[in-house]
Chains A and B, each alone.
Chain A
Amino acid sequence: MRMLALLRKELADERQNLALFVPTMIVGFVAVLLPVLVAIVIPYVAGERLSDSSDFEVAIEMYRTQPATRGLDPEAAIQAYLFQFFAVMLVLIPVTSSMSLAAHSVVGEKQARSLEPLLVTPITTFELLGAKVLGAFIPSILLTAGFFLVYIVTAALLARPGVAWALLGPRMVGIVFILGPLAALAALQMAVCVSSRVNDARTAQQIGVFVILPIAGLLVGQLAGAIELTVTLIAWITLGLLVVNAGLMRVGIALFDRETILTRWR
């Protein structure tokens, strides 16, 4: 009940401060725009077909072997491959959003000097941090779902027939709805941990680089052909993120020492 009361306050606070979502919106639009540019706009402007290039033979072969995409023509198979490839960018949406919201949420309480009155209430540290984490997590996931919808609709409208349908497989769902939320949870828990010790939201946000870098690594790894983001690999990363999140939750509660916060925060 107490967690719910504070969660409602967090969400109401965010609704009044929509500027917090600007970085996330930028990342979201870039994530949607990149595959459109690479798979559709650039070939159209250059007057060339992607399937004329030998660079995408692997992509054509990969998609020809999958039952759901067997019917795609070579150009559509490459477009589907590129849209899948850039889907990792969608993971950045909840990460950026949750870091921004969580850092603002805890440091914001410090700056407004509203934390001490809150700590005087019977709320427990778990309830307080739970509300803070959920208050950042829920809008982040809603935004991700929104941009995923835009991603699919964009593919349906601009790419070749069958591409959008080909994107709705377990791999894509795993990336957007499992890896994304877990990476976001890790990022926001890091932001909450750091927020407990700093007085500047930007400092708290910088810790997110530890989550963004591995995501960028995945993107580069795929580009270089070193990594193929298969369902098995997604499952392993999911397991790793679950462990990281469990550890971060313990660290977060341990770091959020009320006495230290009250006596050292100025």
Chain B
Amino acid sequence: MAVKETIVARLAEWGLVLNENEIEQLVPAYENLLRWQSVLESMMQSKKLVAGMTAPANEPILIHAIERKGGAR
């Protein structure tokens, strides 16, 4: 599916309909988002299991843990 169609379909899932000009503006931003996804993936540290299999080496921050980590001396 072309990027434009993907965007329209994804927004329709949320009940959001944009005009042609608005969709056009989202295209380069969406392409940049796809690039960022690959940047993020390359930043991830993974623990090797067996050939071709890895496990994530860190847990996402869903709530901040900075009260317990680091902090003022």
Chains A and B bind each other: no
Residues of B within 8 A of A (CB): none
Q: Show the binding face of A for B, using Cβ within 8 Å.
A: none
